[in-house]
Amino acid sequence: MLAAAALLTGCGGEKPSWPQGLVLRVVAPDGVLRELGEPCAGGQPFLYAHATAEFTLADASGKILEEDVLPEGEATALLNHDPGVDRVPTNCTFRVRVDVEASGRYTLRLGDSAPQEFGFKDGQAMVTLN
């Protein structure tokens, strides 16, 4: 994100005028058995979703606003109920902080996934890989 921050702030070091640190959750719905909260990377067919995987975030005009890598993922519940065992089917969820305008529409490009369009609501957005 340092490169993205440098691009956004420009040579003069000025801060952008929009809110900082919106949270984009990138979800790999792989169904791998894991303990909730443990570090993860995407399982089949989402092997491209892992810490250090490069992604880009573009605005509605196609201009790339951020280029960065995913952080380590975290196993999150796939089921809506507790099956009462330690290892359960999970998603691998990556939480990415982005510095873009909260009201815009954006496109995420990551690995083999089709480009995903999204917007933020209350500082949060979620993209489910397909």
First to last CA, the chain: 24
How many structural domains are present in the chain?
1
Residue 71 lies in a domain: yes
Separation between Cα atoms, residue 103 and residue 123, nearest integer Å? 9
User: Cα–Cα distance between 3 and 115 in angstroms, integer?
Assistant: 22
Q: Is residue 73 part of a domain?
A: yes
Question: pLDDT > 70: what percent of the chain?
Answer: 85
Asked whether 101 and 84 are in contact (CB, 8 A), the reply is no
Report the distance separating Cα 67 and Cα 7, nearest Å: 10
Q: What pLDDT does residue 7 have?
A: 35
Coil, helix or strand at residue 57: strand
Which pLDDT score is estimated for 42?
97
Q: Is residue 41 part of a domain?
A: yes
Question: Residue 12 has what pLDDT?
Answer: 38
Scanning 10-112, the segments in alpha helix (DSSP H) are none
Q: What range does the domain containing 37 cover?
A: 1-8+24-81+104-130
Total-model pTM: 0.82
Whether 1 is in a domain gets the answer yes
Q: Is residue 117 part of a domain?
A: yes
Q: What is the H or E stretch that residue 5 is in?
A: helix 2-9
What CATH number does the domain containing 63 carry? 2.60.40
* Residue 53, domain member (yes or no): yes
pLDDT digits over 7-61, tens only? 333 333 443 444 467 999 999 999 999 999 999 999 999 999 999 999 999 999 9
CB 20 within 8 A of CB 123: no
Residue 38 lies in a domain: yes
Split at pLDDT 50, 70, 90, the class of 83 is confident
- Would residue 97 count as lying in a domain? no
Q: What is the pLDDT of residue 2?
A: 34
pLDDT recorded at residue 20? 60
